[in-house]
Structure 1
Amino acid sequence: MNFIQNLKHKYKTGSIIEKLIYINVTIFACTLLITLFQSLYQQEQNLIVQWFSLDDNFSEFIGKPWSIISYGFLHANFIHLIFNMITLYFVGNLFIQYFTQKQTLNFYLLGTFFGGVLFILSQSYFPLFEGRNSTLVGASAGISAIFIGISTYMPNYELKIRFIGFVKLWYLAAIWLTFDIIGLVGPNAGGSFSHLGGSLFGFLYVNQVSTKKTRFFEIISALFNTKKNNLKTVYKSANKKEDPRKSKGVHQEKIDRILDKISKSGYDTLTQTEKEFLFKQGK
């Protein structure tokens, strides 16, 4: 298997996070090649950036409406790309442990969309941007939606950071948002507005879903159905009779307690008994 075939195989078998990373890296490589080619003809404006970046002018946006999404797959330079892809890899892989692949893609795309909307609105409304012409590129709005989404879903989940120790997820989210808020008056103010747009979407969506226990349980059930768990099936004794209504009420209370524990501390904190019980109810 040669290099190209190996990449194709990894792309086909990879998770949605890996596919997003492959797409972003490939587009960046194409952008570099076009820049190199156009420089031979002394053309400054890259065609890909020109057609797929998001303009701050609403009239320009109307001429290329796809840019409200496509800008989320472009990057200004190599450092910009690397930082975003590393962040996407870590927060994205945490996200898909609790949400489906489709939901992850939706968060990325809708976070990008709402980030672009807030960018255009901010450029048109605030006097700070008068007389400026800027374009928006970068995956940060989509990544912000994923990061703030998973932080809202389980704020007390702890990540182990080298040389620091265990840090709760909501601490990291607070630092993330603080930098974006500070950046509203910096040279990349437009980018900060787009990040906050993605973050706002992630927070509002997960906050709404988490308040609906039925939907919340469906997400957990989907997690068990899409992964192979080596859990034992528990059988009831045929000699013991229980009141179905009483049993249902007790089971629902236990399910609620376990789901609350997952939302606060993560699935890995469950005991083996709790995992077995939840798996059985999910079936």
Structure 2
Amino acid sequence: MTSIFDDIRSSFSRGNNALHQLIAINIVVFAVLVILRTIMTISGSGGTFAYLMTFLSISSNLGIFIWRPWTLITYFFTHLEFLHIIFNMLNLYWFGMLIREYLGDKKLVNLYILGGLAGGFFYLLTYNTIPYLQVRADNSFMMGASGSVIAIMVAAATLLPNYTFNLLLFGPIRIKYIAAVMVLLSISGATGGNAGGNIAHLGGALLGFLYIKQLQSGSDLGRPVQSVLDFFRGLFARRSPLKVAYKNPNRPFASPSSANTSTSPGSVTFNGTPSEDEINLILDKISRSGYESLTKEEKQKLFRASQK
């Protein structure tokens, strides 16, 4: 058990590890809720647990949602069924690896959060405007990362439509077809028993498609997300200790060797940030010919852009 906690702590202590961090958060929340549900059910407090879950899952009832606005975020980190979280985390890992490799950790986090928000807003909008769904609005709650995950799936398929996965029993299949099947299944299930979840899928899918198209046109829809995250990182970041400078009056000027902080001859540094036009050309090349077709310089430019 100690090693499990050590692994989780390690995943958050390392940089450029957003994919594993997202998966770890979902699994930890799932484990805590399952244990809590078991304990409360055995003790005869199952009804209380169900009530507590309404503070984590999003309600289609605007009268309830307006008093619990945080559920627009907490719902896409919340699962209670084993198959639900396994399916979501596997897809998050497979498609998230592609987004992370080609666009970087920040873009992956942007897609996860924006996909979840889009799914939640789409869920609220449809359940309060479409008559067929309005009759279900009072008793409808939704949870799960499906909206976020399908946003990442569709984003990957939009960026790399001809990239192939080897699926069991099916063999190599281009991811654009996998994403298309998921969207069609969500459309067909929008009037079924899990209408809310499937509607959230569609909101996430639309966001994933628009995110990549806007990124290719030079606009990153995720900048507000990163601004908010950077703000909270700043609140919890350790402040560096104060540095005390000592100036010797007999040596008012630094020696040439200490003043020169440039790199040694022959070393190469990459400080320039590639322009949006350069990144768009690289993304177009990936879409046409795959990541392997990029030159070393183009890969470095893409990596530097992903760190912005």
Tell me the TM-score normalised to structure 1 length: 0.77
- C-alpha distance 277-131 of structure 1, shift in aligned 2 (>3 A): closer
Give the structure with the higher percent helix.
1
Do structure 1's residue 264 and structure 2's residue 265 form an aligned pair?
no
> What's the counterpart of residue 250 of structure 2?
none
Judge conservation of contact 2:8–2:24 (CA < 8 Å) in 1.
Answer: no
> What's the counterpart of residue 15 of structure 1?
17
Given residue 23 of structure 1, which amino acid in structure 2 is its aligned partner? I
Cα shift readout 1:117-175 (whole Å, capped 9, x = no counterpart): 01011111122224321101000001111111111112122223344332222111111
Given residue 74 of structure 1, which amino acid in structure 2 is its aligned partner? T
Cα shift readout 1:27-62 (whole Å, capped 9, x = no counterpart): 111111221232213332425412111001111111
Cα shift readout 1:97-132 (whole Å, capped 9, x = no counterpart): 111211111111111011000101111112222432
Describe the SS at the equivalent of 1:167.
strand
For residues 255 and 50 of structure 1, the distance between their equivalents in structure 2, rounded to whole angstroms, comes to: 43
> What's the counterpart of residue 207 of structure 1?
213
Describe the SS at the equivalent of 1:51.
coil
> What's the counterpart of residue 148 of structure 2?
142
For residues 300 and 56 of structure 2, the distance between their equivalents in structure 1, rounded to whole angstroms, comes to: 48
Judge conservation of contact 1:95–1:104 (CA < 8 Å) in 2.
Answer: yes
Amino-acid identity (%): 33
- RMSD of Structure 2 on Structure 1 (CA): 2.8
* 1:59-208 paired onto structure 2 within 5 Å: 59-132=63-136, 133-208=139-214
> What's the counterpart of residue 278 of structure 1?
298
- The range that moved more, 3-12 or 70-79, is 3-12
Describe the SS at the equivalent of 1:75.
coil
Judge conservation of contact 2:216–2:283 (CA < 8 Å) in 1.
Answer: no
Judge conservation of contact 2:54–2:141 (CA < 8 Å) in 1.
Answer: no
Given residue 26 of structure 2, which amino acid in structure 1 is its aligned partner? N
Describe the SS at the equivalent of 1:64.
coil
Do structure 1's residue 36 and structure 2's residue 56 form an aligned pair?
no
For residues 64 and 257 of structure 1, the distance between their equivalents in structure 2, rounded to whole angstroms, comes to: 44
Judge conservation of contact 1:31–1:48 (CA < 8 Å) in 2.
Answer: no
> What's the counterpart of residue 53 of structure 2?
49
For residues 210 and 103 of structure 1, the distance between their equivalents in structure 2, rounded to whole angstroms, comes to: 13
Given residue 9 of structure 1, which amino acid in structure 2 is its aligned partner? S
- Alignment coverage as a number of residue pairs: 243
For residues 255 and 104 of structure 1, the distance between their equivalents in structure 2, rounded to whole angstroms, comes to: 17
Judge conservation of contact 2:159–2:283 (CA < 8 Å) in 1.
Answer: no
Describe the SS at the equivalent of 2:173.
strand
- C-alpha distance 183-5 of structure 1, shift in aligned 2 (>3 A): same
The structural deviation recorded for 1:258 is 5.9
Judge conservation of contact 2:158–2:209 (CA < 8 Å) in 1.
Answer: yes
Judge conservation of contact 1:157–1:264 (CA < 8 Å) in 2.
Answer: no
Cα shift readout 1:240-279 (whole Å, capped 9, x = no counterpart): xxxxxxxxxxxxx9998765331234212x1xxx514535
Judge conservation of contact 2:158–2:176 (CA < 8 Å) in 1.
Answer: yes
Judge conservation of contact 1:15–1:101 (CA < 8 Å) in 2.
Answer: yes
- C-alpha distance 172-279 of structure 1, shift in aligned 2 (>3 A): closer
For residues 282 and 22 of structure 2, the distance between their equivalents in structure 1, rounded to whole angstroms, comes to: 33
* 1:231-270 paired onto structure 2 within 5 Å: 259-268=283-292, 270=293
- C-alpha distance 167-265 of structure 1, shift in aligned 2 (>3 A): farther
Tell me the TM-score normalised to structure 2 length: 0.71
Judge conservation of contact 1:141–1:198 (CA < 8 Å) in 2.
Answer: yes
For residues 201 and 179 of structure 1, the distance between their equivalents in structure 2, rounded to whole angstroms, comes to: 17
Given residue 34 of structure 2, which amino acid in structure 1 is its aligned partner? L
- C-alpha distance 147-279 of structure 1, shift in aligned 2 (>3 A): closer
The structural deviation recorded for 1:76 is 3.3
For residues 110 and 132 of structure 2, the distance between their equivalents in structure 1, rounded to whole angstroms, comes to: 32
The structural deviation recorded for 1:18 is 0.9
Judge conservation of contact 1:27–1:73 (CA < 8 Å) in 2.
Answer: yes
For residues 186 and 211 of structure 2, the distance between their equivalents in structure 1, rounded to whole angstroms, comes to: 20
For residues 83 and 170 of structure 2, the distance between their equivalents in structure 1, rounded to whole angstroms, comes to: 25
